[in-house]
């Protein structure tokens, strides 16, 4: 059963067109005034269809700037979608008013990438964790709040006296545990983990990953796990969605995708993953050129300017590929995936 269903979700931003600073002549000045009032559209996320089943961990991977975090924030209505629908537990939350959305906030939470930036440096750890309880009126008295904070600290492996400390007094791993405790304070069912370990030392990453997995089993949580670390995603996730320039280009079970990637972009990503066993190593695929601008994406398949496939058909340059099911049960948006 699907807990979260996205249909045609897009998120576009308006941005002013930049103009060179060297505008010395009157003609340049007049041109700058004309252009400065114009805006361009950044297509951060485009027409994403996605289903997340209750209890699973869906991985979302791709290069920096491809729209992963924007999709996660849009899914939770932290950013308003430009198009499409978002359904959570059979409730369409796409156009809910702030008052109607507030009860849904308890069911959907987010763990942010930078644990230090997500915490108020002037608030103690206990106050930061208790804040969602106050907002949602889940603890009537100070005693109730302190008891709940103590319970959450124990759940994420922090001592009780951490409640009296401040963010700058904790290590990066401890701060991320605080972020996890705060996300779990209101008892959500669905959590977006936005690169929760990328800001941590390698020695701490495994601890946080194990903690997230333990909490998922104990509290029956569903995760959207956003990451650029393909090895971690392989270890944590049941299914994986690969994103390129705001679109999902491949979606498959983790084992199937890592064993038999179909999209050329997925193949290039996985070819860069270090492997200990020489028999499982892939030939390194070096993509040429830079990622196109989301302000002016290429016509047809957005990946075609960097695609290593030779003799590409005309459709690659003219038609945007749609996700379709291939023989290995992968869903791939590619004209030449066969």
Q: What CATH number did the domain enclosing 266 receive?
A: 3.40.50.300
Q: Say if 134 falls within a structural domain.
A: no
Q: Say if 248 falls within a structural domain.
A: yes
pLDDT, tens only, 219-277? 999 999 999 889 999 999 999 999 999 999 999 999 999 999 999 999 999 998 877 66
Tell me whether residue 195 is exposed, middle or buried, using C-beta atoms within 10 angstroms of its C-beta: 0 to 12, 13 to 18, 19 or more: buried
Which residue, 216, 258, 215, is CA-closest to 233?
258
Q: Say if 165 falls within a structural domain.
A: no
What's the pLDDT band for 279 if we cut at 50, 70, 90? low
- 122 pLDDT above the threshold of 60: yes
Whole domain around residue 244: which residue ranges? 2-107+188-332
pTM of the model: 0.90
Q: Say if 259 falls within a structural domain.
A: yes
Give CA separation, 321 vs 70, 99, 153, 302, 318, in Å.
22, 39, 47, 9, 9
Which residue, 293, 289, 318, is CA-closest to 305?
289
| Number of CB atoms found within 10 A of residue 1's CB | 8
Q: Say if 113 falls within a structural domain.
A: no
pLDDT, tens only, 49-64? 999 999 999 999 999 8
Taking the C-alpha atoms of 195, 83, 17 and 15 in order, what is their torsion angle to the nearest 10 degrees?
A: -50
Q: What is the pLDDT of residue 29?
A: 55
Q: Say if 49 falls within a structural domain.
A: yes
DSSP symbol at 263: S
Rounded to an integer, what distance in angstroms lies between the CA atom of residue 45 and that of residue 167? 33
Contact 233, 243 (CB under 8 A): no
Q: Say if 155 falls within a structural domain.
A: no
Helices 202-219 and 172-184, packing angle to 10 deg: 20
% the chain with pLDDT above 90: 73
**Two structure tokens written together for 204:** 């701490």
Q: What share of the chain is helix, strand, coil (3-state, %, to 5)?
A: 35, 20, 45
Q: What is the pLDDT of residue 200?
A: 87
Q: Output phi, psi for 142, to 5 deg.
A: -60, -35
Compute the Cα dihedral for 3, 106, 68, 12 and give only its sign.
Answer: positive
Nearby residues of 208 by Cβ (< 8 Å), 6 or more positions away:
173, 176, 177, 180, 196, 197, 200
- List the helix and strand counts (H, then E) for the chain: 11, 12
Q: Say if 337 falls within a structural domain.
A: no
pLDDT, tens only, 141-164? 999 999 999 999 999 999 999 999
Domain count, the chain: 1
Q: What is the pLDDT of residue 261?
A: 93
């Amino acid at each position: 059963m699907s807990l979260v269903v996205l249909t045609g979700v897009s998120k576009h931003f308006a941005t002013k067109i930049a103009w060179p600073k060297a505008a010395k002549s009157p003609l340049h000045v007049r041109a700058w005034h004309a252009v400065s009032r114009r805006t361009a559209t950044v297509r951060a996320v485009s027409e994403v269809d996605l289903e997340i089943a209750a209890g699973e961990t869906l991985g979302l991977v791709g290069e920096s700037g491809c729209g992963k975090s924007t999709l996660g924030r849009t899914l939770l209505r932290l950013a308003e979608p430009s198009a499409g629908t978002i359904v959570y537990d059979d409730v369409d939350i796409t156009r809910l008013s702030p008052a109607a959305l507030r009860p849904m906030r308890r069911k959907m939470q987010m763990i942010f990438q930078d644990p230090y930036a997500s915490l108020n440096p002037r608030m103690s750890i206990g106050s930061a964790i208790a804040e969602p309880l106050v907002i949602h009126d889940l603890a009537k008295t100070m005693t109730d709040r302190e008891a709940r904070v103590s319970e959450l600290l124990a759940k994420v492996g922090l001592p009780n006296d951490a409640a009296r400390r401040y963010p700058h007094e904790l290590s990066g791993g401890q701060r991320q545990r605080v972020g996890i405790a705060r996300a779990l304070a209101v008892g959500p069912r669905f959590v977006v983990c936005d690169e929760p370990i990328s800001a941590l030392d390698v020695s701490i990453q495994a601890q946080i990953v194990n903690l997230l997995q333990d909490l998922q089993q104990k509290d029956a949580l569903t995760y959207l796990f956003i990451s650029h670390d393909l090895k971690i995603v392989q270890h944590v996730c049941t299914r994986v969605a690969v994103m390129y320039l705001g679109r999902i280009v491949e979606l498959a079970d983790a084992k199937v995708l890592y064993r038999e990637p179909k999209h050329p972009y997925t193949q290039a990503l996985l070819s860069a993953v270090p492997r200990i066993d020489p028999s499982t190593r892939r030939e390194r695929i070096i993509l040429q050129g830079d990622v196109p601008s989301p302000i002016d994406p290429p016509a047809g398949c957005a990946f075609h300017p960097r695609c290593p496939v030779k003799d590409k058909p005309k459709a690659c340059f003219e038609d945007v590929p749609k996700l379709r099911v291939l023989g290995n049960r992968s869903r791939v948006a590619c004209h030449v995936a066969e």
